Amino acid sequence: MQNVTPLLEAASLSRHFGGLAAVDQVSVALYLGEVHAVIGTNGAGKSTLINMLSGELAASSGTIHLRGTAITGWSQARRARDGVGRSYQRTTIFLKFTLLENCRLAAQAALQKPWALWQAASACRQSLGRAWEALEAAGLHESAHRIAGAISHGQQRQLEIAMCLATHPAVLLLDEPLAGMGAEETERMLAMLERLRAAHAILLVEHDMDAVFRVADRITVMVNGRVIATDTPDNIRTSAAVKLAYLGESHEQKASHA
Ligand SMILES: Nc1ncnc2c1ncn2[C@@H]1O[C@H](COP(=O)(O)OP(=O)(O)OP(=O)(O)O)[C@@H](O)[C@H]1O
């Protein structure tokens, strides 16, 4: 079922902060049609990994390939133009603009016509079309003309992903999209991931284990910067190494609280 060539592939990727190996020789492959979750204890290196894949953070060593092309030294903007999309946590939403305007601006930025950013929406047919498509894919089209600051936290998280979709990414890097969500909002987000799966390669960093085990096709487990397992959810659930890593942490926590 899996495609042979990964859309995005990191090999032996490392990032050091001083003497700390925040990400240590991590290899991960993202395939079209798959949700690949990365889980791990606090400080395991998940955000650092996603930051290196998106281009926000330079790797200390290792390589990243997109559709077989080396992109390790590429800027974030260049990666985004070539299909690596990342959702941000509300920081990029213009709260006073409508959902449609937010998505149009994201599409416009990706289309590299910054001089047209402040023109009327109707003047930018292409970006407007992308904005509507993205809102539809995110299930937000009925709220297109609402002000972003007036929608719920969960809808704002969906809007972040819609803004990312407006840039037409092939790879979606999602950093804790379920953070702070209630049960109903979580269900909506999971349904959205199910819809997006077929046309994207999705990397999901998430702490909600129930959600991860429901939606992921493959799970990578990180501990202290290293990958200790990459496998199907069923195999991860029963892995002795994974159990040991988590039990080890809970024992340490118990000891430190004693
Ligand atoms: N800019 C930085 N400078 C120094 N150390 C950093 C920096 N960013 C992250 N670290 C350290 O690198 C390690 C990995 O951090 P990272 O945020 O990637 O972990 P995480 O798995 O995303 O954690 P969490 O689940 O808590 O978000 C941690 O020890 C963190 O303190």
Over 138-174, what HEC string results? CCCHHHCCCEHHHCCHHHHHHHHHHHHHCCCCCEEEE
Both 4 and 78 in one domain: the answer is: yes
Whole-number Å distance between alpha carbons of 242 and 235: 10
High-pLDDT (> 90) share of the chain, %? 71
Whole-number Å distance between alpha carbons of 160 and 178: 12
pLDDT digits over 16-73, tens only?
Answer: 999 999 999 999 999 999 999 999 988 999 999 999 999 999 999 999 999 999 999 9
pLDDT digits over 194-203, tens only?
Answer: 999 999 999 9
Both 102 and 152 in one domain: the answer is: yes
Both 66 and 103 in one domain: the answer is: no
Whether 93 maps to a domain, the answer reads yes
Whether 197 maps to a domain, the answer reads no
Q: Which of 110, 145, 168 is the last residue of a domain?
A: 168
| pLDDT at residue 255 in the model | 37
| Angle CA 160–145–175, to nearest 5 | 5
Both 135 and 157 in one domain: the answer is: yes
pTM for the whole thing? 0.88
Whole-number Å distance between alpha carbons of 47 and 38: 10
Q: Which atom of ligand 1 is nearest to the CA of 176?
A: 27
Question: 13: which 2 tokens?
Answer: 């990727």
Average pLDDT value for the chain: 88
Indicate if ligand 1 lies below 6 Å from the C-beta of 46: yes
Both 39 and 14 in one domain: the answer is: yes
Query: Domain range holding 95?
Result: 89-168
Nearest CA to ligand 1 atom 30: 43
Whole-number Å distance between alpha carbons of 210 and 24: 27
Whether 189 maps to a domain, the answer reads no
Whether 213 maps to a domain, the answer reads yes
Both 210 and 243 in one domain: the answer is: yes
Tell me, what's the ipTM? 0.97
Q: What CATH number does the domain containing 48 carry?
A: 3.40.50.300
Nearest CA to ligand 1 atom 7: 17
Whether 26 maps to a domain, the answer reads yes
Give me the torsion for CA of 73, 92, 194, 34, rounded to 10°.
10
> How many independent structural domains does the chain possess?
2
Q: Which of 168, 193, 217 is the last residue of a domain?
A: 168
Nearest CA to ligand 1 atom 17: 47
Q: Which atom of ligand 1 is nearest to the CA of 44?
A: 21
